[in-house]
Amino acid sequence: MSESELDPRFDRQVRFAPLGLEGQRRLGASSVLIVGCGALGGALALQLVRSGVGRIRLVDRDVVELTNLPRQVLFEPGHVGRPKAAAARESLARIGGPSQVEACAEHLDADNIAELARGVDLVLDGTDNLATRYLVNDFCVERGLPWVYGGVVGASGLVLPIVPGASACLRCVFPDPPPAGSLPTCDTAGVILPAVAAIAALQCGAALRLLSAARESWRAHRSRLIELDVWNLESHTLDAARDPACPCCAERRFEFLDAGAGGATVSLCGRNTVQVRPALRANVELEPLAARLSASVLDLALRDGVLSFRAEDKRFTVFRDGRALIEGLDDAVRARALYDRFLGS
C-alpha cells in the first residue's frame, strides 16, 4: 500500500509509528473471527471495523434483549428479538469503510468451529461462558492460531493474548474450568459498560498489534495476564509462563475439542433461557415449520432467518441450524421436552 492508495479515513492511524502504512496494509488483508457479539464482541467488532480490518466474521447464538442495550453498543431498541449477529452487522454497515462483515447466527461448538474459523488469522473472545473459551483454546493451540481471551464481570475483567507455540495458553494459566456456580457471573454480580469498554480496548489493541506485524515476529510474543478494575481504578499485570505439563499446549491433549457437541442443552448466562440443540446437526426449513405450527402457537413470526413463537407460556426462537432458545425457564429437562414436543428430536 502506498500513501496515495491509503483510504483517507485511516490517515491518523497510519501516523502511529508502530503501525504505519505496512501495518495498515496487513490489517486490510487480515481476517478475524469474533466469538460472541454481545457486550465484548460488539465493542471488538466496532473497533476492528473502524481500524480497517479486512474481514470480520461474527458468530453469536443469541437474540437481542432489552437488558442488553446499556452495555452492548451495536444494538438499538428496534433490534430486540433479532439475532445478535445480524443486528450487529446492520449497525456496522452504517459505519462504512472497507471491512467485510459476515454474520453467523450459530452456536459455536466442537462440530462447527473448524468451519466457522476457516481462513481467519486470529480469534477474539467475546463469549459469556468458560466452556466455549476452553474449546477455542483447544482449537487455536491445535491449529497454531493466535487468539485473545477476555472476560468481564461487575467492574473488572481479564485479558490474555495467546500465541500458540510462543506463549502460555489458557490452560497454562487456568488448567481446568472451575466448578459450576463457583465464580460470579453477570447474572449474579452484574456488569457495567466502562469495564466492557476497557477490556475490549485491550483485546483489540493486542489484536491490532499481532495482525499488523510480520508473522515471524509472533515468535517473540510475551505472555501477560492483565487485570483491570475500572471502579477502583486498579490494574495488575502478571507474567504468564508456559506450563511444561500443560495438558493442552505441552501434551497436545484437546479434551474440549474432542468431546464433540451432540444434542446438549445450555442455560444462558443472565437469562431465564435454555438453548436446546438437535441430536443431529441439520438445517431446518423454517417456512414449512411455521406453516405446521401456525394453528397451535401464538405470536408466530419469521424474520432474519429466525422463527419465533409463543407456546406453553414460553418464548421459542428457532434457528436454521435446528437450535432453539426457550425463554421463561431454566430447567434443561423441561426445555428438552418442550423442544421435542413442538420441533421434534
Q: H-helix or E-strand containing 298?
A: strand 298-303
What is the side-by-side order of every strand in the sheet holding 234-239? 100-104, 55-59, 31-35, 122-125, 147-153, 156-162, 224-229, 234-239
Task: Output the CA torsion sign for 299, 336, 277, 329.
Answer: positive
Q: Catalytic residue, from 172, 186, 204, 246: name it.
A: 186
| 167, 222 contact by CB (below 8 A) | yes
Backbone angles phi, psi at 3, to 5 degrees: -60, -35
Please choose, from the candidates 125, 172, 173, the residue with its C-alpha nearest in 3D space to the C-alpha of residue 151. Answer: 125
Backbone angles phi, psi at 340, to 5 degrees: -65, -35
Give the per-residue SS3 of 130-181. Answer: HHHHHHHHHHHHHHCCCEEEEEEEECEEEEEEECCCCCCCHHHHCCCCCCCC
Instruction: List, in order, residues 6 or more apart from 269 with CB less than 8 Å away.
Output: 128, 129, 185, 186, 187
Backbone angles phi, psi at 33, to 5 degrees: -100, 125
186 among known catalytic residues: yes
Rounded Cα gap, residues 122 and 53, in angstroms: 11
| 282, 323 contact by CB (below 8 A) | no
Q: Which three cell numbers stand for residue 260?
A: 464433540
Indicate which residues carry an active-site annotation.
Answer: 186
